[in-house]
A and B are shown apart, each in its own frame.
Chain A
Amino acid sequence: MSALGSALSLIAGFDRELAGIIALSLRVSLSALLIATAAGLPLAVLIGFWRFRGRGIIISMLNSFMGLPPVVVGLVVYLLLSRSGPLGFMSLLYTSSAMIIAQSILALPIVASLSHAAIAGVDPVIAQAARTLGATPSQTAVAVIREARYGIMAAVIAAFGRVMAEVGAILMVGGNIAGYTRVMTTAIVMETDKGNFELALALGIILMALSLLINIALHAVQKRGHFS
């Protein structure tokens, strides 16, 4: 109980170390989300509108990669970025860039797969209606993507939820270096190990609050998408 009290006073007092950790968490997760969306959304559009060989395999791969074990991603990124790895010359291991790379890989299948599901779920009559009103093929695609917008937003929010809560991969490639690669989840692991429960709890409360906010946003977005 006293640990909880101290945790709350840490939050209320706006501890500088705590603020730094939260800021880095958000920076890493939002950057990863941006990259995953920039790559995943066009991929979803491509597989949503273009019938090509191997499309089914890509969809199945994206679906199964949604449950990719973070430690495996951490291991692969570690091997790629380690000094003797193929990308070792970039000296990215144990930097926030390495963490962003790992989280982007985890978020990409979620954004792509769920956005594709949203696009595929749009009633075919929407595309037909657009065509009857004089839409070119690309204008028709835009009309369909617009109809899928709430599903796409939900996909991005779901991916954000995953990367914010992730610990395994970023601990492996980031190294949890104080003031440099320490984020909320990795700090909670370390502070708990050290028996420093005040900071761990304070971070846990903030992480829970953020996760709650993300879920409220997701719910609101899904609600707006359902009129009929």
Chain B
Amino acid sequence: MLRLTASGIRKSYGGIEVLNGCSFDFPDLGVYTLTGPNGCGKSTFLRICAMLEPPDAGEAAYSDGNGVLPHSISLMRRVTLVLPKVGLFNAAVFRNAAYGLRLRGITGREAEDRVNHALELVGLARKRNQNALTLSSGEAQRLGIARALVIEPEVLFLDEPTASVDERNTALIEQIIQSLRREGNTIIVMTTHDRDQASRLADRELLMPAD
């Protein structure tokens, strides 16, 4: 099992410090929520933990039974982050969801089954042949989650998954997170500015102060 330990993470943009020595250990499977006001560095913390950008100081260290793992492409392929803007490709819903599998050389029957299962889970199976750019923002967010789930990540980061969606989609996304939690194979780390949502979903709630 993959274990993430963030220690002393510092990050500045243009001389303005966003994170000043952020540390946290994610020892167990389950849902961790990260709440705090806008601009407190939640997204930056997630992006650094997902290895999308390097910290100025400190580290996001992943380890398993064999000790600390180097930040390589093979480690990056064990974790994923669903961005708030998602970043869907101008292609069919199915093709979008299958992207991570194609990168790993998984095609054919297995890819088909895994994608169909993920689309089913997020309630988009009916729209598998539709162009992804025609989806509503709630559906787009759910497709982003499906696209992440097909690669069966050990750590799943969700950056504000419900910030720009309506109540119905928020409820659907919360259900998806709950069912992943019940399956119990994944460390889920999500940011939200909704404290109630955090207490509904979280096994552990983390609070980030404004400064």
Contacts and interface: CB of A to CB of B under 8 A. Distances in A.
B131 to A, nearest CB: 5
Interface in A116-149: 123, 125-126, 128-136, 139, 143, 146-147
A89 interface: no
Contacts of B172: none
Contact of A125 (B50, B80, B86, B147): B86
Contact of A134 (B76, B85, B88): B76
Contacts, number: 61
Interface in A32-48: none
A227 interface: yes
Contacts of A130: 87, 99
Nearest to A124: B87
A134 B87 contact: no
Given A125-B85, A139-B103, A134 B80 contact: yes
B164 to A, nearest CB: 13
A11 to B, nearest CB: 40
Interface residues of B, number: 27
Given A143-B89, A147-B89, A134 B131 contact: no
Given A132-B50, A134-B73, A227-B134, A126 B87 contact: yes
A146 B103 contact: no
Interface string B10-29: 00000000000000000000
B81 interface: yes
Given A126-B89, A227-B131, A227-B134, A132 B52 contact: yes
Interface in B73-104: 73, 76-77, 80-83, 85-91, 99-100, 103-104
26 contacts: A123-B87, A125-B83, A125-B86, A126-B87, A128-B87, A129-B87, A129-B144, A130-B99, A132-B81, A132-B83, A133-B103, A133-B147, A133-B151, A134-B76, A134-B77, A134-B80, A134-B104, A134-B151, A139-B103, A143-B99, A146-B91, A147-B89, A227-B90, A227-B133, A227-B134, A228-B134
